[in-house]
Structure 1
Amino acid sequence: MIYEHLGSRPRIHDTAVVAPTAVISGDVEIGPDCQVLHGAIITAEGGPIRLGEHVIVMENALIRATAADAVHIGPHTLIGTLASIAGATIGAEVFFASGARVFNGAHVGDRCEVRVHAIVHRRAVLPEGTVVPIGWVAVGDPVQLLSPDQHEEIAAAQPELDFPGYVFGVDRDTPDLMVQLTERYGRSLARHADDREL
């Protein structure tokens, strides 16, 4: 399903193949010979999304751009099933395994691997060829790779990342954080009410 969102229509190269159950919404450009499989969602929520040539987006993967963070994905990149990329810049020949997560403002260099259920946190920078092991967390610039049992080190990085402030525009110390966050984000998402199927 292809949707116009906020006045922008997806542009899909005539050699790309998009499954009929995939959703492509807004300012999205899909390059030559890309494959977007069933259930994948590529949604430009105010910022553009650009997929280079030969990018494969597997079943039920999610790619989302925001007004603050566009998404650029280099050629010959594979985004595995149930993986998600939000507002990040991805180099060429990158592999995202099933369930991998990449957050806003991250930069993933050429030929990196983000393995099963690994996380690239907000604003993390992965140099070319970096491998994030299964379930590990990549944080910072320069990047630190932390195993899932390093709870204290991961928690120590969280305040500096200011995820609610950067992504949702709400201060982490707001007493009614989730009320403010869901109402603000809900208003933004409500803009889909005016989408037009193409």
Structure 2
Amino acid sequence: MSGTILPFNGIWPKIADDAFIAETAVVIGDVEIGPESSIWYGCVVRGDVNPIRIGARTNIQDGTIIHVNHDPAGDYRETGGGMPTHIGDDITVGHMALLHACTVESGGFIGMRSVVMDGAVVEGNAMVAAGALVTPGKRVRSGELWGGSPARRMRELTSSEIEYIPYSARNYAKLGAAHRTGTKAGA
């Protein structure tokens, strides 16, 4: 493990032993990162006022910011309020995305420089296009491509796009392992 790993209010991140955390990534507070996942260069994952959960084989690419929503009534551990961020298994989050108090279900895909806002849900086998702005509370359904600002349903995904989602997650799991261990990718 590398990167800057910091506690907040006495809570340390919990990171799987085989996850890759790039040396310039910052992971703070109530964050859990699953096996074979990767947090790339320049990312910030800040679980200070609510939890962030990242599943297995999920890649959070360079420059991405992941945060949560607080509960104005007090500490989420006491009130249960505010909104956490849940990111499932086998997900690709493209470079410089912003995920805020949202849910990305296992097998979802988030394009580069896209924004997914509070209360939004990206279902498995759904894709958010590069540069899209998914506004609060929207649901990107399985099999759909959403794009634009604000994002809207553009079309159904093709079979090759659906097949690419798990391929991308597997490829980044291998690449993260190579960075973590210093071995050649794919070896």
Q: Normalising to structure 1: TM-score of the pair?
A: 0.68
Partner of residue 40 from structure 1, selected from 18, 43, 50: 43
Gaps of 5+ in 1: 139-143, 147-198
Instruction: Report deviation, 1:45.
Output: 2.8
Deviations along 1:29-66, whole A, 9 cap, x unmatched?
00000011110110013110000100001000011012
The amino acid that maps onto 1:48 is: P
Larger Rg: 1
State the number of aligned residues: 140
**Quick one: distance in 1 between partners of 2:100 and 2:127?**
17
Contact 2:114 2:131 in 1 (8 A): yes
Deviations along 1:154-180, whole A, 9 cap, x unmatched?
xxxxxxxxxxxxxxxxxxxxxxxxxxx
Greater relative CO, 1 or 2 (CA 8 Å, sep 6+): 2
Aligned to 2:28: 25
Tell me if 1:96 matches 2:99. no
Instruction: Report deviation, 1:74.
Output: 1.0
Q: What SS does structure 2 have at the residue aligned with 1:24?
A: strand
The amino acid that maps onto 1:38 is: Y
Instruction: Report deviation, 1:136.
Output: 4.2
Partner of residue 67 from structure 2, selected from 64, 67, 73: 64
Aligned to 2:172: none
Contact 2:33 2:53 in 1 (8 A): yes
Partner of residue 53 from structure 1, selected from 36, 56, 74: 56
**Quick one: distance in 2 between partners of 1:77 and 1:145?**
20
Q: What SS does structure 2 have at the residue aligned with 1:48?
A: strand
Q: What SS does structure 2 have at the residue aligned with 1:137?
A: coil
Query: Identity of counterpart residues, as a percentage?
Result: 29
Partner of residue 127 from structure 1, selected from 136, 141, 155: 141
Q: After the TM superposition, which of the residue ranges 27-36 and 104-113 deviates more from structure 2? A: 104-113
Matches within 5 A, 1:179-198: none
Contact 2:26 2:43 in 1 (8 A): yes
Aligned to 1:76: 90
Contact 1:137 1:145 in 2 (8 A): no
Partner of residue 105 from structure 1, selected from 91, 106, 119: 119
Contact 1:88 1:103 in 2 (8 A): yes
Gaps of 5+ in 2: 71-81, 155-187
Contact 1:78 1:96 in 2 (8 A): yes
Aligned to 2:150: 137
Q: What SS does structure 1 have at the residue aligned with 2:112?
A: coil
Contact 2:145 2:153 in 1 (8 A): no
Superposed CA RMSD: 1.3
Contact 2:144 2:153 in 1 (8 A): no
- After superposing on structure 2, the runs of 4+ consecutive aligned residues of structure 1 that deviate more than 6 Å are none
